[in-house]
Chains A and B, each alone.
Chain A
Amino acid sequence: MRVLVVEDDKNLREQLSGALTDAGYTVDTADNGEDGQFLGETEPYDLAILDLGLPKIDGLSVLKAWRKDGRSMPVLILSARDRWSEKVEGLDLGANDYVTKPFHMAELLARVRANVRRQTDHQSSVLEVGDLRLNAATGQVTVNGAPIKLTAYQYKVLDYLMHHAGRIVSRTELTEKIYSQDHERDSNTIEVFVGILRRKIGSNRILTEKGLGYRLVDPAEQQ
C-alpha cells in the first residue's frame, strides 16, 4: 500500500517514513506543499499524511486542491496547531483524521491503519441495503441520499455488517475483524459502536439477536 508523507521537518519526515516502511507501507515523501500536491495529484496513494505548516503551499490549500481534483484518498492532517476550530475546518475540507504534534508514533500508525483505503477486500465498490448505501471507493455512506459522517472504526463495523447483511454477526467475530491488527479490545466497545451506528443510520436497521450477535436488515423488508 502506498502512503504519501508531506512534511517539511527532515527528522520528523525520516521518522515517519521509517516507521511506515517498517509497518509494511510503500512511502513517498515531499518536503514542501508544491511537490506534495503534485505527487498526490499524479500518483495513486492509499493514504496521505499532510503537515499543515508547509513551505510554498500550505497544507489546507493542498488538501483543497486534491479534493477539487477528485482525489479521494484518506488524508491524515498533521499539525502543530491544535485549535478545535482548525480541526473542524480541516475535516470540513475533506480531511479524514487529524493528528496533533507531538504525537506517539504508535498512535499515528493505528490511525493510518484505520484510515487506509477501506475497500481493499471488496470486489464491488458499492454496497446497498435498502436505501442505506456505502461507497467503498469514496468511503461515503448515505441514508436515503443524505450523507452520514462516520469515523474509521464506525465505518469498518458498518462495512462488515453490510457485507454480511441479513446474517447474524457475533460480537467476537466483529471484534476480531475490526481490531485484528490492533491491541486487544474490550468486546463491549462493539456495543458502543453499534449504538452510535444505530443513532446515525436509524435504530431499526441493526437488530440485536439475543446471545448471538447483530443482524443488519432493510427495515422496509421487515414490515
Chain B
Amino acid sequence: MSQAPTGILGRFRGLIRRSLAARLVTIATVSVLGLVIMGWIAHAQFNRQLLRLLIDPEIQSVADNLIGNSGPGLEGELALQDLPYDPRYLQPLSGRYFQIARIRDDGQIDVQVISPSLFDVTIPLDKKIRDQLFDPDAPRGPRFLDMPGPDDEPLRVIARVEQIPQVEGRYLYLVGVAPRAILAPAANLVGLAFAVFVAFCALMVAAVTLLQIRVGLEPLHALQRDIADVRRGDSEKLQGEYPAEIQPVTQELNALLDHNREVVERARRHVGNLAHALKTPIAVLKNAAASGTSDDVLRQSVDEMEAFVERQLRRARVAARAEARAGAQAPTIAYRTPVLQNLQDLVFMMEQKYDHTKAVDISIEAEADVTFRGEREDLLEMVANLIDNACKYGRSQVIVRLLPPFESDGMMEVVVEDDGPGLSEEELARAMARGARLDEAAPGQGLGLSILKETVDLYAGELLFERGELGGLKARLRLPATD
C-alpha cells in the first residue's frame, strides 16, 4: 500500500482489504439493510391499498348521502336538510371530514358547509387540484385524491362537482378520511412489530456473520495449523481435506513444498557429489606431494582442501538429517537405539583407527544398556566424535561411561574421558559458552565440535565439558532416553 487510507471511508476500505470477517459483515449488513428497506416499502404499499379498500366505499357513500341531502335553504343558498348519521363526522378533528363549497367563476371556492368535525378550519385546496377538478372538459364523476387536510394531515378524499336542483351554481363536495382514523389503534402495534423485525434482522446478521466466520473460515484456520505442522516438521505436506475453494491453494502450496524440497535436495546432492568427487583427486595430490620433494606449501594446501571438504560434507550431513527428520512421517520419538552395542562397535572402530599409530586403551563402563530416543546414525556420529577426540588427545587411556537416565529428566549420559592434557580453564569456558566453536579458529586442528553441537541440539540434548579425573578432558553428552 502506497499510502495510509484517510477518513472513515478510507479506513473502512482498509479494513475490508485486511479482514475477511469485515467483508462478510459488510455483505451481510448491506443485504439485510436492503431487505429491511424492501420490506418497509412493500409494507407501506400494502397499507395504502388496504386503506383505499377500507376508506373509498365509505367516503363514496357519505358523499352520496350528502348530495342527496342537499337542497335550497331559506334564501336560495345550499343547505343540508340532514347531517350524516355517522357520529364520527361530528366529533372535532376525528379524522373524518366533509366540506361543501360553491365554485366561483374565477376558480376560487366559497366554503358553504363543513362537517362539525372540522370545527373551525377548512380543507385547503391548492391551485393545481382546483384546476384539475374545475376544468370543464374534465370527465364527470367522482374523483379520488390523496391530499393534505387540516394540519397537513394526509387524507384520502373523494371529490364530486355537482349542481343541486333549485340552487344556483356548481358545488364541490369533498369527503375525506385520514388513515390515522382507521389505523390509530393498530399504529403502535405495527411500529412495534416493525421494530422487532428490524432487531431480529440485526441479530440474525450478527449470528450469521459469526457462523460464517466460525464455520465458513474454519478451513482457513485448519490450513494455518497444517502449514505450521509442516514448518515444525511434524508433517511433510498439507494433509487435510479442504473445501473445493481452498483445495487449489493447498495443491499449489504442496507443489511449492515439493519443489522447494527438490531444490534443496538437488543443491545438497550437488554439494555432496562435488565434495566426494574432490576427495579422490585430493588423495592423489596428497600422495604425489608426499612422494616428491616434500613441498610444505603443496602439502599444506592439500590439507586445507581436505579439511574444507570434510567440513562441508559434515555440515551437509547434519542439514540432511535435520531435513530428513522434518520430512519424516514418524517423529524422532519413534526411533529407539540401544546404546551399549553401538558403543562397543565404535570402540572397536577406534581401536582399528589408532591401531598403527598409537596404543590407546579404550574401556567401556556400563552397568546396564540404555535406549537412546533417536537415530543410530546420529548417536554414532556424536559419540564417535567425542571418542575420536579423546583418542587423539589422550595419552593412552580413554574411558567411555554410559549412565542411565535420571528419573527426573529422562536424559541418559555418555561420558568420554581421556588422560591427555585437557583444556585450560579459559578454553573450557569458551567451549561451554559459545556452542563449542573451538575448531573454527584452526581448521582441522580443533575438536570438530560445532557440527557435533548441531546434532546434539536436534535432540535437545546437552554437551558439557569438565576437567576429568584422569587429568584430561571429560565430555558429558546428555541425550534423551526412553523409559
Contact = CB atoms under 8 A, between A and B. Distances in A.
Interface of A: 9, 11-12, 15, 19, 53, 80-85, 87-88, 91-92, 97-98, 101-107, 110-111, 114, 149, 151-154, 182, 188-190, 192-193, 195-196, 199
B348 A189 contact: no
Given A15-B284, A83-B381, A114-B356, A105 B291 contact: yes
Contacts of B285: 102
Given A83-B377, A107-B356, 12 more contacts: A11-B280, A53-B276, A83-B381, A88-B345, A91-B348, A102-B286, A104-B286, A105-B290, A111-B356, A151-B355, A189-B396, A192-B359
B396 A85 contact: no
A152 B353 CA distance: 11
Contacts of A101: 279-280, 282-283
Interface string B77-92: 0000000000000000
Nearest to B377: A85
Interface string B263-306: 00000000000001001111111111011000000000010001
B356 A87 contact: no
Interface in B322-379: 342, 345-346, 348-349, 351-353, 355-363, 376-377
Q: Which of B283, B355, B376 has the most chain A CB within a 10 Å cutoff?
A: B283
B279 A84 contact: no
Chain B: number of interface residues, binned into ranges: 35 or more
Q: Which of B288, B306, B349, B384 has the most chain A CB within a 10 Å cutoff?
A: B349
Contacts of B352: 91, 97-98, 151-152
Given A85-B381, A151-B352, A154-B355, A102 B345 contact: no
A151 B356 CA distance: 9
Contacts of B290: 104-106
Interface string B236-271: 000000000000000000000000000000000000
B283 A195 contact: no
A196 B361 contact: yes
B361 A195 contact: yes
B284 A9 contact: yes
A60 to B, nearest CB: 16
Contacts of A97: 352, 355
Nearest to A192: B359
Contacts of A104: 286-287, 290
Give chain B's interface secondary structure class: helix
A189 to B, nearest CB: 3
B167 interface: no
Given A83-B377, A153-B356, A193-B359, A91 B282 contact: no
B315 interface: no
A199 B363 contact: yes
A114 B107 CA distance: 141
B317 interface: yes
B292 to A, nearest CB: 12
A85 B283 contact: no
6 contacts: A97-B355, A105-B290, A105-B291, A151-B348, A152-B355, A189-B359
A12 B284 contact: yes
Given A80-B280, A196-B351, A85 B287 contact: no
Contacts of B363: 199
Contact of A91 (B279, B349, B357, B396): B349
Contacts of B282: 101-102
B147 interface: no
B380 interface: yes
B437 to A, nearest CB: 22
4 nearest A-B pairs in the assembled complex, by CB-CB distance: A189-B359, A102-B283, A192-B359, A84-B384
Q: Which of A101, A152, A190, A193 has the most chain B CB within a 10 Å cutoff?
A: A101
A89 to B, nearest CB: 9
A189 B358 contact: yes
Nearest to B303: A102
B355 A9 contact: no
A15 B285 CA distance: 10
A82 B348 CA distance: 16
B358 to A, nearest CB: 7
A99 B376 CA distance: 22
Nearest to A14: B284
Contacts of A98: 349, 352-353
Nearest to A22: B291
Nearest to A185: B359
A58 to B, nearest CB: 14
A157 to B, nearest CB: 10
B361 A192 contact: yes
Given A91-B345, A91-B348, A103-B286, A110 B381 contact: no
B308 to A, nearest CB: 12
Nearest to A79: B279
Interface in B379-418: 380-381, 384, 396-397
Contacts of B284: 9, 11-12, 15
A121 B427 CA distance: 51
Contacts of B356: 107, 110-111, 114, 152-153, 182
A165 to B, nearest CB: 22
Contact of A102 (B306, B361, B377, B397): B306
